[in-house]
A and B are shown apart, each in its own frame.
Chain A
Amino acid sequence: MPESTLATFSVKRLEIIDQNGNADEALLPSLSGDELRRLYYLLLLTRTFDGRALALQREGRIGTYPSVLGQEAAQVGSAFAIAREEWVFPAFREMGALFTLGYPIHQLFQYWGGDERGLRTPDGMNIFPICVSVGTHLPHAAGAALAARTRGDRTAVVAYFGDGATSKGDFHEAFNLAGVFRLPVVFICQNNQWAISIPLAAQTASPTLAQKALAYGFDGIQVDGNDVLAVYRATREALEKARSGGGPTFIECLTYRMADHTTADDASRYRPPEEVAAWRERDPLLRFERFLARRGLWNEEYAAELKGKAEGEIDEAVRRFEAVPPPEPGGMFDFVGAELSSRQRRQREEVTTF
């Protein structure tokens, strides 16, 4: 009996704007000038937040912080497509996605400043708390999607994670569940190519991460993660598919972590400076500026004005964060359970008395 081929697969890649700001008009998502400018502002706001967070960390005003520098397009572009009531399960480096979804900026400073109260998502938003343990939130997204389907809700669920998470068992268990049950979930990986000091080639033998979805029976697509419109378009399509019963999608946003893993890391120990320099040329903000300039939506003066506005918004967030009185010691007991046990009540008393 001759050997035969049972299956062949291919992986799509999407890029809409090139590095010079030229766009493939056929692929451009239908966004108004105002929406394009809003996207630009959110990119700028994310970068401004990030710079300020790094400065605050150096001054000892917040704790260890993971920079999002270089990943702004992957975050803003994807979150811009998500509806306010949809369920989102972030990892820990999604500050830009969170602002875009409307999460209060001062609360993020508060959280990274060591105050858990910053993780209380405002009512009416279904954003799960930041997940520090890598990839373990992916089954929650699958579960919420299963619940949405059980309830007959036409809603979608989004989970964010990084390239390192694709090595974790929970990634595979969640993908398998999503595939088997055709769940309305969109998995968004910001492949920033470094999991602390481990480069992608040492993380996986797959040439793309997107192809991992194929093994679980659903689509995976790689998008240029520094192209905000490509990320937006891919996410919007995946969400529409999810909402209409078409099942899960995996979007690999190929991007780059320009900064250290966190403020406690020194990437120069393991990462060649030429590589960082090459990616600097592919800056997601620069690319979008060039695109907007070509369409008459951007000039230096406008950029300076927006920059001032972003600085003002971040100033205000820092002011609000630092004006919040520190949490009371008893606060550590406040939400351990719906009710405290008699032991916990006594311990609370001890903690607050000493």
Chain B
Amino acid sequence: MTQLNMVQAINLALREEMARDDRVVLLGEDVGKDGGVFRITEGLFEQFGPDRVIDTPLSESAIVGAAVGMAAYGLRPVAEIQFMGFIYPAVDQLFAHAARIRTRSRGRFAAPLVVRTPYGGGIKAPELHEESTEAFFCHMPGIKVVVPSGPYSAKGLLLAAIRDPDPVLFLEPTRLYRMVKEEVPEGEYTIPLGRARIARPGSAVTVVAWGSMLQRTLKAVEGYDAEVIDPQTLSPFDGETLLTSVEKTGRLVIVHEAPRTCGLGAEIAATVAEEAILHLRGPVLRVAGPDVPVPLAKLVDHYLPSPERIQAALDEVLRY
């Protein structure tokens, strides 16, 4: 077993899957010779050549649009968008085409593609480099949204995403790229999409958190009898794991760094309100980013949910 960080785990997943399946091709800006701005694709160009690791012009819409055509033709493209804030020009391709082609063609064509992109705040990067707008994509039927919260899940989820017959947006928490190391086995293992994991068992309160907020939440709940759920796939959301936990604990706190309004936390809270409200002992609380564009480095720590804010929410809900 090897201790890997998330960058190495994702690189390993891509390398193994490209070796296993010659339909898998990578495309994006700087993914080839440069190995990607975060070095995620390092060494893959040398190993698989320019037909499988394609450096494209600076064209987000063309990258995702071309991936739609490549996928329909029979390849398994894995497109990289350099930062989540740069995905917006390609949203038209994701929403109007990737998400709909199976429906529009009544199953004749599909778009088994993956769009990988770094996301999330706290890396002292310029504007648009720290976005967390996963909820936009979760609202769109036809796309899966996956967020790993550590190196082990990054590899297993990415392999599952590449093998998924439909489009997957794979969000890589930038702050975690090199923050933690975990045992990541070489070779075959996948983590099924659409299934949450209990990151830490507990019985007094359920806390849902993903991406880099999961790591922060796990630290914040030390000393509390909290059950922490890592959804892993945000869409489709694993409601069963959530409801089972809330029925046990009777309390729910949701932590996400995305803006509060219409964030995924709202959907999770609504699900519990519809299906488990009689199990609740107190209000469902959200610890979220405020409804502002992600600020630059000097203020970002005031934007991101802090351990203190997470603990304040736990204390609040545990009063009931």
Chain A contact residues, CB within 8 Å of chain B: 87, 89, 116-117, 119-121, 123, 128-129, 133, 136-151, 157, 169-170, 173-174, 176-177, 180, 334-338, 341-344
Partner of A143, one of B65, B92, B142: B65
CB contacts (< 8 Å) of B52 on chain A: these are 150
User: Could you give 29 example pairs across A and B, Cβ below 8 Å?
Assistant: A116-B106, A119-B104, A121-B109, A128-B109, A136-B96, A138-B65, A139-B65, A139-B93, A140-B68, A140-B69, A140-B97, A142-B69, A144-B70, A147-B70, A147-B73, A150-B52, A151-B75, A157-B69, A170-B92, A173-B57, A173-B61, A173-B65, A177-B57, A177-B59, A334-B103, A338-B110, A343-B239, A344-B141, A344-B236
CB contacts (< 8 Å) of B93 on chain A: these are 136, 139, 170
CB contacts (< 8 Å) of B106 on chain A: these are 116-117, 119-120, 334-335
By secondary structure, the A interface counts as helix
Given A119-B104, A142-B65, are A147 and B97 neighbors across the interface (CB < 8 Å)? no
Determine whether the beta carbon of B105 is less than 8 Å from that of A128.
Answer: yes
The winner among A120, A145, A335 for most chain B CB atoms within 10 A is: A335
CB contacts (< 8 Å) of B104 on chain A: these are 116, 119, 129
CB contacts (< 8 Å) of B71 on chain A: these are 143
CB contacts (< 8 Å) of B59 on chain A: these are 173, 176-177
Determine whether the beta carbon of A129 is less than 8 Å from that of B73.
Answer: no
Given A133-B92, A150-B25, are A335 and B65 neighbors across the interface (CB < 8 Å)? no
Smallest CB–CB gap between A142 and chain B, Å?
5
CA distance A128 to B144 in the complex (A): 23
Question: Residue B293 at the A interface, CB < 8 A?
Answer: no
CA distance A117 to B107 in the complex (A): 10
Determine whether the beta carbon of B141 is less than 8 Å from that of A336.
Answer: yes
CB contacts (< 8 Å) of A140 on chain B: these are 65-66, 68-69, 72, 97
CA distance A173 to B63 in the complex (A): 9
CB contacts (< 8 Å) of A338 on chain B: these are 102, 110, 164-166
Partner of A139, one of B68, B108, B194, B240: B68
Question: Residue B188 at the A interface, CB < 8 A?
Answer: no
Determine whether the beta carbon of A143 is less than 8 Å from that of B70.
Answer: yes
CB contacts (< 8 Å) of B92 on chain A: these are 133, 136, 170
Question: Residue B51 at the A interface, CB < 8 A?
Answer: yes
Question: Residue B261 at the A interface, CB < 8 A?
Answer: no
Determine whether the beta carbon of B65 is less than 8 Å from that of A148.
Answer: no
Given A128-B105, A334-B106, A337-B166, are A146 and B96 neighbors across the interface (CB < 8 Å)? no
CB contacts (< 8 Å) of A128 on chain B: these are 72, 101, 105, 109
The winner among B66, B71, B89, B164 for most chain A CB atoms within 10 A is: B66
CA distance A143 to B63 in the complex (A): 8
CA distance A133 to B166 in the complex (A): 21
Question: Residue B54 at the A interface, CB < 8 A?
Answer: yes
Determine whether the beta carbon of B107 is less than 8 Å from that of A139.
Answer: no
CA distance A145 to B236 in the complex (A): 32
Determine whether the beta carbon of A170 is less than 8 Å from that of B61.
Answer: yes
Question: Residue B282 at the A interface, CB < 8 A?
Answer: no
Question: Residue B62 at the A interface, CB < 8 A?
Answer: yes
Partner of A335, one of B89, B107, B194: B107
CA distance A92 to B75 in the complex (A): 26
Which partner residue on chain B sits nearest A340 by CB separation? Answer: B236
Determine whether the beta carbon of A147 is less than 8 Å from that of B57.
Answer: no
CA distance A338 to B71 in the complex (A): 14
Determine whether the beta carbon of B102 is less than 8 Å from that of A337.
Answer: yes
Smallest CB–CB gap between A91 and chain B, Å?
13
CA distance A174 to B172 in the complex (A): 27
CA distance A138 to B109 in the complex (A): 16
CB contacts (< 8 Å) of A169 on chain B: these are 61, 89
User: Hey, what's the 0/1 contact readout for B113-145 against A, CB within 8 Å counting as 1?
Assistant: 000000000000000000000000000011010
Question: Residue B244 at the A interface, CB < 8 A?
Answer: no
Given A150-B75, A169-B61, are A120 and B66 neighbors across the interface (CB < 8 Å)? no
CA distance A119 to B106 in the complex (A): 7
Which partner residue on chain B sits nearest A174 by CB separation? Answer: B62
The winner among B89, B93, B165 for most chain A CB atoms within 10 A is: B93
CA distance A136 to B89 in the complex (A): 12
Determine whether the beta carbon of B96 is less than 8 Å from that of A177.
Answer: no
CB contacts (< 8 Å) of A138 on chain B: these are 65
CA distance A128 to B71 in the complex (A): 12
Determine whether the beta carbon of B110 is less than 8 Å from that of A142.
Answer: no
Given A121-B108, A136-B92, A142-B62, are A148 and B103 neighbors across the interface (CB < 8 Å)? no
Given A140-B68, A143-B66, A170-B62, are A335 and B236 neighbors across the interface (CB < 8 Å)? no
Known: A148-B73, A174-B65, A338-B166. 9 other contacts (CB 8 A): A128-B105, A136-B93, A136-B97, A139-B93, A143-B65, A144-B73, A146-B69, A150-B25, A338-B164
CA distance A331 to B126 in the complex (A): 46
Determine whether the beta carbon of A335 is less than 8 Å from that of B103.
Answer: yes
Question: Residue B67 at the A interface, CB < 8 A?
Answer: yes
Smallest CB–CB gap between B263 and chain A, Å?
18
Q: Considering the complex, which residues of chain B in the window 159-204 have a beta carbon less than 8 Å from any beta carbon of chain A?
A: 164-166, 194
CA distance A169 to B52 in the complex (A): 26
Determine whether the beta carbon of A146 is less than 8 Å from that of B194.
Answer: no
CA distance A150 to B53 in the complex (A): 11
Determine whether the beta carbon of A144 is less than 8 Å from that of B72.
Answer: yes
Determine whether the beta carbon of B240 is less than 8 Å from that of A143.
Answer: no
Which partner residue on chain B sits nearest A141 by CB separation? Answer: B69
CB contacts (< 8 Å) of B103 on chain A: these are 116, 334-336
Q: Considering the complex, which residues of chain B in the window 54-100 have a beta carbon less than 8 Å from any beta carbon of chain A?
A: 54, 56-57, 59, 61-62, 64-75, 77, 89, 92-93, 96-97
Which partner residue on chain A sits nearest B112 by CB separation? Answer: A338
